[in-house]
Every structure is written in C-alpha cells, then in structure tokens.
C-alpha cells in the first residue's frame, strides 16, 4: 500500500513539474514573441507625393511624450469639403497610402498622413499597436487644429484602423471613421496567427493573451485597455464604416463582425468576398472608392448641420440604421 502511494506521489510530482515547465516555456516564448511584435523592422515603400504628381508640404509635429512625427500635408486644389487623416498599418509607413490621395483630392478633401512612432521617418523605437499610438494621432489632430481645422475624418488601414477607432472615441474633432481591415483586440489576431502555425485550442487563445500581456509588461502599459473593441461604442452618434475582406487571413473577418456588433448606430459593415487583407480595392475598386467618398461626404455634411444642434438626429438622418451587407 505504501509503495503504491509513493508511486502516485512521484507521478503527481512529475505532472506538476511538467506543468510548471510548460508554463515556463510558454512564458518565455510569449516574451520573445512580444519583443518581435513591438520591435518590428522598419520598412518603407519608398514612394513620395511626387510619385503620384501631388503637390505636398512636408510636415512634422511633436507628441505629448516628446517624439517628433513626420509626414505630409496634401491640400486639394478643388473646393474643400474637409480634411481626412490617413492612419497607416503595422510595420510599414504612410507612403503606400499615398495611392488614395488623388481620389480624395479630386473629391475635395485635404489629406494629412504621417508615420507613427517606431515607423518610417518618425521618432521612436517601438510600437504598441494602439496604446501609445493614440497619442500620435491626437498630436496630429492638435497640429491640424493649430492650423484652424476643427473637423476631420479618419481613414484607417489595418492597425491604423484600430488606432482611428480608439481615437475617435476620445476626440470630438472626428466626424466619422472608415476602418479598412482593422482588428478589435490584439490578442485575438495573435491567437489567429498561432492557429495558422498549428497551435490547437485552447493553447492558441492562451498564447494570444500571454503575448499581449508580455508586450504590456515590456512597455509598462495596459495594451488590453486600448483595444478598440472597448471604445468603439463611444464614437456614436458619429458614423463608422467597417470594411473587411472575407478572405483575410491576417485578421479574421470575425474581428470586423465583433466591432460592428459592439458599435452603436450609425454604423455600417461591408464584407467583401474573396478579398484578402487590405485587398478590398483589388476585388471591388469602383465600389471601394464610391463607398469611402460617399461616407465622408455624408459625415462632413451631417457634422456641419449638427453644429446647429441635435447631433444624434442629424447623423441618424444621414446614416439611417446602416446594416451589415456584402459587396454588391
């Protein structure tokens, strides 16, 4: 009897040791993955406004925590309807988004675009994906306000969409947000990447959570709190347009649905079959351009009327109970 108890005790100890070792390995890998996440290699597409025949002003401004961010101001030569700020994606810079500027300029919109901290030509050694980048976008809005611009639209791509959604909830300057293939929570996209690499459940979910936790520890900031899924509901009564490719493997389409379900009216969800990550325009180019420009036309028009009172009523008339719909 005593011998059996000893065997069971030994097995229990081995199991406990195995569990502890597994936890240590997972924490170590999560720590390393968090480092890769927050210290991406800087990449630039190398294009400039001149590449697209644009007349632009090189701009720079400082954040409240002392970083200098750099970008461009591209005014429209047509009667101006408003100003839209572009918010670029992860591990790149703002130069790929210059391709959209001629469309917006022709439609009567000035464009401001810049590199986030740790990206492109801007200062900074790391990215938090959303937490500290909110300061960057708010600094851009302060820069524009100093130039006499009181209302802006936000056009965000991937990570930039998440930042735009988070900042719109904070800043009354924002009249509306277009989010192209954004995520709702960092840990969910990390979990998705883990699944693609063969991690089974529930380990993939745990990995996602641990990596965001380790990134938070390394940056001494609660990255979970900045995930846009927590703030998107506060954007109302200003409108949001959430666009996503149904074939997006980097950020699952479920993220867009969750954002849409959490947002309050007015809101619109456009899901595009066969479109991968940031490839909606490749699949439905004419509709992409039409939807985006029409959205900002309505948002700026509603914002102008809302200054006279009854913001909720005005926005609801311009964006009547927008529902989920796929590409036409």
Nearest to 291 by CA among 262, 312, 265, 271: 271
Distance CA 87, CA 138 (A): 11
pLDDT (0 to 100) of residue 251: 97
Task: List, for residues 253-300, the tens digit of each pLDDT value.
Answer: 999 999 999 999 999 999 999 999 999 999 999 999 999 999 999 999
pLDDT score of 8 more than 60: no
Place of tokens 């926005």: 315
Mean pLDDT of 214-218: 96
How far is it between the farthest Cα atoms of the chain?
A: 92
pLDDT score of 324 more than 90: no
Position with higher pLDDT, 71 vs 19: 71
Nearest to 294 by CA among 278, 314, 318: 318
Mean pLDDT of 26-50: 89
Task: List, for residues 96-105, the tens digit of each pLDDT value.
Answer: 999 999 999 9
pLDDT (0 to 100) of residue 11: 54
Provide the pLDDT confidence category of residue 133 given band limits of 50, 70 and 90.
very high
* CATH architecture under which domain 39-185+227-326 falls: 3-Layer(aba) Sandwich (3.40)
Nearest to 182 by CA among 268, 288, 234, 254: 254
Mean pLDDT of 34-61: 92
Distance CA 71, CA 65 (A): 18
Position with higher pLDDT, 7 vs 299: 299
Sheet holding 324-326, edge to edge: 57-62, 68-74, 109-114, 82-87, 152-157, 174-180, 240-245, 267-272, 324-326
Q: What is the DSSP string of 50-112?
A: GGGT---EEEEEE-TTS-EEEEEEE--SSPP-EEEEEE--TTS-SGGGGGGHHHHHHTTEEEE
Distance CA 85, CA 163 (A): 12
Using an 8 Å Cβ cutoff, are 156 and 163 in contact?
yes
Domain positions in the chain are: 39-185+227-326
pLDDT (0 to 100) of residue 75: 98
Q: CB atoms < 10 A from the CB of 200, how many?
A: 8
Global pTM value: 0.91
Q: CB atoms < 10 A from the CB of 53, how many?
A: 7
Task: List, for residues 186-211, the tens digit of each pLDDT value.
Answer: 999 999 999 999 988 888 999 999 99
- Average pLDDT over all residues of the chain: 90
Task: List, for residues 149-166, the tens digit of each pLDDT value.
Answer: 999 999 999 999 999 999
Provide the pLDDT confidence category of residue 43 given band limits of 50, 70 and 90.
confident
What are phi and psi for residue 298, nearest 5 degrees? -70, -40
pLDDT (0 to 100) of residue 20: 75
Mean pLDDT of 113-129: 97
pLDDT (0 to 100) of residue 321: 58
Mean pLDDT of 225-247: 97
- Looking only at the bridges linking them, the beta strands covering 174-180 and 240-245 are parallel
pLDDT score of 320 more than 70: no
- Hey, is 179 helix, strand or coil? strand
CA torsion through residues 155, 230, 182, 267, sign: negative
Strand blocks (E) in the chain: 57-62, 68-74, 82-87, 109-114, 152-157, 174-180, 240-245, 267-272, 324-326
- Looking only at the bridges linking them, the beta strands covering 267-272 and 324-326 are parallel
Tokens of 40: 């991406």
pLDDT (0 to 100) of residue 23: 74
pLDDT (0 to 100) of residue 238: 97
Residue 66 backbone class (left: φ over 0; alpha: ψ -120 to 50; beta: rest): left
pLDDT (0 to 100) of residue 162: 98
Tokens of 109: 């919109």
Provide the pLDDT confidence category of residue 12 given band limits of 50, 70 and 90.
low
pLDDT (0 to 100) of residue 286: 97
pLDDT (0 to 100) of residue 194: 93
């Amino acid at each position: 009897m005593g011998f059996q108890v000893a065997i069971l005790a030994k097995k229990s100890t081995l199991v406990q040791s195995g569990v502890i070792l597994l936890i240590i390995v997972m924490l170590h890998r999560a720590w390393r993955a968090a480092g890769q996440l927050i210290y991406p290699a800087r990449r630039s597409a190398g294009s400039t406004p001149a590449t697209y025949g644009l007349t632009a002003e090189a701009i720079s401004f400082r954040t409240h925590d002392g970083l200098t961010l750099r970008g461009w101001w591209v005014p429209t030569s047509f009667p101006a309807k408003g100003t839209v700020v572009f918010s670029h994606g992860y591990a790149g810079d703002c130069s790929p988004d210059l391709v959209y500027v001629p469309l917006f300029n022709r439609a009567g919109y000035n464009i401001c675009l810049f590199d986030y901290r740790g990206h492109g030509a801007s200062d900074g050694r790391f990215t938090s994906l959303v937490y500290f980048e909110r300061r960057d976008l708010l600094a851009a809005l302060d820069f524009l306000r100093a130039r006499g611009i009181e209302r802006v639209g936000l056009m965000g791509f991937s990570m930039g969409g998440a930042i735009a959604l988070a900042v719109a909830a904070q800043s009354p300057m924002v009249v509306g947000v277009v989010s192209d293939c954004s995520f709702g929570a960092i840990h969910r996209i990390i979990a998705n990447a883990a699944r693609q690499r063969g991690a089974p459940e529930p380990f993939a979910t745990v990995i996602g959570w641990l990596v965001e936790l380790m990134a938070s520890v390394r940056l001494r900031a609660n990255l979970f709190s900045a995930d846009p899924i927590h703030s998107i509901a506060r954007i109302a009564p200003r409108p949001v347009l959430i666009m996503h490719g149904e074939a997006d493997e980097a950020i699952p389409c479920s993220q867009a649905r969750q954002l849409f379900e959490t947002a309050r009216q007015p809101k619109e969800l456009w899901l595009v079959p066969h479109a991968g990550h940031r490839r909606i325009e490749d699949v439905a180019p004419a509709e992409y351009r039409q939807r985006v420009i029409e959205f900002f036309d309505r948002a700026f028009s509603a914002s102008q009327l809302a200054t006279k009172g009854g913001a909720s009523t005005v926005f609801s008339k311009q964006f009547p109970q927008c529902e989920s719909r796929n590409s036409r």
